Amino acid sequence: MPLALEPHQFIASAFSDATLHSENFYHALTDAIDVGFIAINNSGMTIHANRIARESFNISCGTHLNSIMPELWDKISQTLRESKPRLEISVRGVESNYLVKVSPIMVEGERIGVACLFIESTELEDIAMQMRFFQELTCELDTIIDSSSDGLWICDAEANVLRINPASERVNKIRSSEVVGRNMRELVQEGFVDRSVTLEVIKTGAAFNMLQQREGSKLILTGNPVFSSNGDLIRVVVSERDITEIDTLQRELEEQGAIKDQVLHHMLEMQQVEMESRRVIAKSPCMLKALRQALKVSIVDSSVLILGESGVGKGLFADLIHKNSGRADKPLIKINCGAIPESLIESELFGYEKGAFTGAQTGGKPGYLELADGGTLFLDEIAELPTASQVKLLRFLEDGRVTRLGGTKSRTVNVRILAATHRNLEEMVKQERFRLDLYYRLKVIPIHIPSVRERRECILPMLHHYIAIYGARNGIKKRLSGAASDVLLVYPYPGNVRELINICERLVVMSETELIDLQDLPSDIAGHAKEVGTSIVSWPASMTLQQAVDSVERSILTQALERFDNQSQVAEALGVNQSTISKKLKRYGLG
């Protein structure tokens, strides 16, 4: 069996004597090392440098280290004095950073110099940067988990609790130290929870949801599995949400919704305009909607088309829009297109120059569009506008320029157009009696004003309001009896607000006593009430009184549901609370 050889004996046996004593051999040996290497004598002179050292630091034999890397020479000087190895960090080479390990060279107990190994540190620095990134990411995730408003439980694949966040501590009224490190099976056995979402997720390997009651709170729990890249379950994350608080918030929102209309009534009443001793009175949802639209469009300059039957107050809405707009300090010019002769409508709108036609003023005359410059022009009964004038109005809406009748020069005016009609313009367009392009130019923002019969909730307040106005005007005090109010409430008012106002004036002037009663009502109104009353009180002979009451009540509720958006509005209209409406709807199968 061959004897073990010492290293120098092994080298001598592997290479020829000439090779071992060749300088090229030692150069080749150090060049083969994949790190930089230099040897320096005690005075700092380089006695050897391998390939990487030469390429990375431009250092060669005979170069003094102080002239190449003075900062490294300072550290090597300490090594020469102390004869102890030293690791210096971050020496910059030509292309990379290096870690330098400095070790003394000892020969028979005597230090003859130092050896320096240069290890490229770029990869190490990249790793360090990645470690810092992951540390920052971990800190960020910790912050997100701890700041979550939902409770979070994080368990491993064996159901051991690894972490819970502050929200979960608050929801469960515990400290994390009481459960972290414990197993969910133990917590179930101890009665902390009656059923564990984590155990269900571990069992099924899928997401799981459940409801739980804890400490008087209702919680909804959602567990989600977390898998490794190999598909193995490694974590279970359970979120807890206290829906008791959500239910409370929902009730508060419902309460706010119940008072929404009251607040809106108040806001709108603060913004109602007075014009010729008349106010816009809005109690019904449809009228409130129209008022909201009018107030919203008042702050812009878009064209508005006001639609509604005769007598509903389209002119009053034009006043409201203008008064609340940025043009309020400028003129509001009103034109009834149906009241001006067809031969004069164009000259009234656009004006005329001197001698434009027989009878024209000698100096010419500006039209309503020029007079309304900076303000608003309200074109009532726009459907009556002649075709020729429709063309010129359309051109004005497109370029904002006006040319007087008989003139050649045009001028630019800044006028907002409001139009109104009680006619069906779409039908008139089909019949080619109104221009389609003008219709769409005017109908940028349409507002429909409901008739009086569509806003029953407004009738009684309007009656009281106008009776008070005409009573004050005539120096007398009048009031309606309950019976007279009931009859006036069921009257359809075909003439809308205009008719209602006239009825109030007549009742104030013609009634003999302070109390306006049934005998004071006009015969046509009283007669209509009798017809309605007859239809209401008739019932089949086989129907009991309770059945008749139930039938009427169910009919009223059905109609109310068609007219209003929610139970709160129905309750307000019928003068009861919302819970009563809810019970009755369930009773009649309408809920």
In a domain, 263, yes or no: no
Same domain assignment for residues 464 and 331: no
- Boundary-marking domain end, from 432, 447, 462: 447
**Strand 97-107 relative to strand 86-92, pairing:** antiparallel
390 closest CA partner among 353, 330, 349, 360: 349
In a domain, 192, yes or no: yes
In a domain, 354, yes or no: yes
Same domain assignment for residues 345 and 421: yes
In a domain, 17, yes or no: no
pLDDT of the residue at 168: 83
Same domain assignment for residues 549 and 532: no
pLDDT of the residue at 22: 64
- Boundary-marking domain end, from 229, 246, 263: 246
DSSP string over 469-535 = HHHHHTT---EE-HHHHHHHHH---TTHHHHHHHHHHHHHHH-SSSEE-GGGS-HHHHHHHHHHHHH
Same domain assignment for residues 421 and 312: yes
Same domain assignment for residues 155 and 186: yes
pLDDT of the residue at 96: 76
In a domain, 25, yes or no: no
DSSP string over 110-176 = EEEEEEEEEEE-HHHHHHHHHHHHHHHHHHHHHHHHHH-SSEEEEEETT-BEEEE-HHHHHHHT--G
Same domain assignment for residues 526 and 566: no
Same domain assignment for residues 491 and 436: no
Compute the distance between CA of residue 378 and CA of residue 372 in angstroms, rounded to an integer: 10
Q: Which domain holds residue 199?
A: 148-246
CATH number at residue 84: 3.30.450.20
Record the tokens describing residue 477, joined without a space.
């005090």
- Boundary-marking domain end, from 537, 558, 574: 537
Q: Scanning the structure block, which residue is given the tokens 């090779």?
A: 19
In a domain, 255, yes or no: no
As averages over each run of 10 residues, the pLDDT of the chain (591 residues) reads 47 48 76 87 90 86 86 82 74 77 86 87 69 76 79 90 87 84 89 85 90 76 90 90 72 56 44 44 85 92 93 91 92 90 85 66 76 92 91 91 84 93 93 92 93 88 91 89 84 91 93 87 77 49 66 78 82 83 81 66
Same domain assignment for residues 301 and 396: yes
Q: How many domains does the chain have?
A: 5
Same domain assignment for residues 497 and 533: yes
* Pair 424, 448: CB distance under 8 Å: no
In a domain, 23, yes or no: no
Same domain assignment for residues 152 and 113: no
In a domain, 101, yes or no: yes
Compute the distance between CA of residue 433 and CA of residue 431 in angstroms, rounded to an integer: 5
Same domain assignment for residues 280 and 358: yes
